[in-house]
Amino acid sequence: MRKPRSLGNFSIETSYRTMHNAWPAQHPTPTIHVASRFTAGLLDRLTIWKEVRSLNHGIIHITGDIHFTAIRLKRRLTVLTIHDLGLLDEGGATKRWLKKKFWLDLPLESCDRLVAVSKRTKEDILRRTSYPAERIVVIPSVISPTYQRRAKCPENSTPQMLHIGLAENKNLDRHAAALAGLDIHLRIIGEPSDQQHAMLRSLDMDYSFASKLSESELQNEYASSDALLFCSTLEGFGMPIIEAQTIGLPVITSALAPMDDTAGDGAWLVDPTDPDAIREAVLTIVNKPDERDQLIEKGHLNAERFSAAAAARRHAELYADLKKNRS
């Protein structure tokens, strides 16, 4: 896995460490290797690639955003986890071509299996590549076991909506438009750009933000909020949905794959391009406590689908199947 930074929410790394701790006793426990450097430049990436090539294991499973380390690993059985491929659509034509070549096309030539974290991610892989569908397995991510249900809902004098992430797909503009004029505080996780600050001020938005949070600090942000606004336009899985449902927040998210599948029936699903629909969902949660409480309970039940033990078992079976087929 990639080298984690001191602060930040790296869901894939947390997911695999959690599964590692829940590994089934009847299967050999894999070894975790952490890259020695951050992926901050060509030299760092080359060093990480060499580190992976030096590993002496029958199966190498690459997770996170270091897909390039799978390039020319044909001597070993290779598994690659793909969270989402949205970054391939960012930047100019040359940059997009380079990213697809070194982050997808070349790595996949060496991969014996792919793990996609959602059906939508699998469909995106198939749309962009000729990789065989039967060699892609969908195994959802899991969250850290430190996430626990809060004892009670917060008693905020002004209802607080939690927004996580500031990339374009996180939909801050439409979230803000939906809340404009309402007596609601928008709590943003991430550091808004100058343009985003200007947009929020133009709407006379009551907001605050926090960035570079530890896992415990992020959990406190969930626990002190009244709902999660996660009407994203593009996700590979939608981990904040499960984190919020586990802690006990009502969730408003997109009626799009994979968010609708991740949320199950434990979220209010809306058109992420329609601020009026988002606004209606917010007002329902704020003004109709019975519906809000029902949504919280459904969300908590839904989150139980994503257990670490189930995910660990499926990975262990995947490795065993690869070994069997090679022999």
Mean pLDDT for 311-321 is: 95
- Give the total residue count for the chain: 327
pLDDT band at 305 (very low <50, low <70, confident <90, very high): confident
Q: Is the pLDDT of residue 290 over 50?
A: yes
Q: Which of 204-208, 272-276, 303-307 has the lowest mean pLDDT?
A: 303-307
Query: How many Å apart are CA 81 and CA 319, to the nearest integer?
Result: 13
Query: How many Å apart are CA 200 and CA 204, to the nearest integer?
Result: 6
Q: Is the pLDDT of residue 210 over 50?
A: yes
pLDDT tens track for 155-181: 999 999 999 999 999 999 999 999 999
Query: In the prediction, which pLDDT does 258 show?
Result: 92
**Could you tell me the fold of the domain covering 11-142+307-326?**
Rossmann fold (3.40.50)
pLDDT band at 62 (very low <50, low <70, confident <90, very high): very high
Query: In the prediction, which pLDDT does 165 show?
Result: 94
Query: In the prediction, which pLDDT does 95 show?
Result: 92
CA 322 to chain centre: 26
Query: In the prediction, which pLDDT does 327 show?
Result: 60
Structure tokens at 52: 């992976």
Q: What is the mean pLDDT of the chain?
A: 93
| Cβ–Cβ < 8 Å for 51, 36 | yes
- Per CATH, 11-142+307-326 and 160-303 having the same topology is answered yes
Q: Hey, where are the domains in the chain?
A: 11-142+307-326, 160-303
Q: Which of 124-138, 184-198, 300-314 has the lowest mean pLDDT?
A: 300-314
Query: In the prediction, which pLDDT does 9 show?
Result: 47
3-state secondary structure of 219: helix
| Cβ–Cβ < 8 Å for 232, 169 | yes
Query: In the prediction, which pLDDT does 104 show?
Result: 95
CA distance readout (Å), 104 to 41, 67, 124, 157: 18, 7, 12, 48
The owner of tokens 């790296």 is: 10
**Could you tell me the fold of the domain covering 160-303?**
Rossmann fold (3.40.50)
Q: Report the 10 Å Cβ neighbour count for 289.
A: 10
pLDDT tens track for 88-111: 988 899 999 999 999 999 999 999
Share of the chain above pLDDT 70, in %: 98
Query: In the prediction, which pLDDT does 11 show?
Result: 64
Whether pTM > 0.85 for this model: the answer is: no
Type of residue numbered 110 = S
pLDDT band at 74 (very low <50, low <70, confident <90, very high): confident
Residue 115: CA count within 13 A, CB half-sphere: 24
Q: Which of 237-241, 251-255, 267-271 has the lowest mean pLDDT?
A: 237-241
Query: In the prediction, which pLDDT does 7 show?
Result: 53
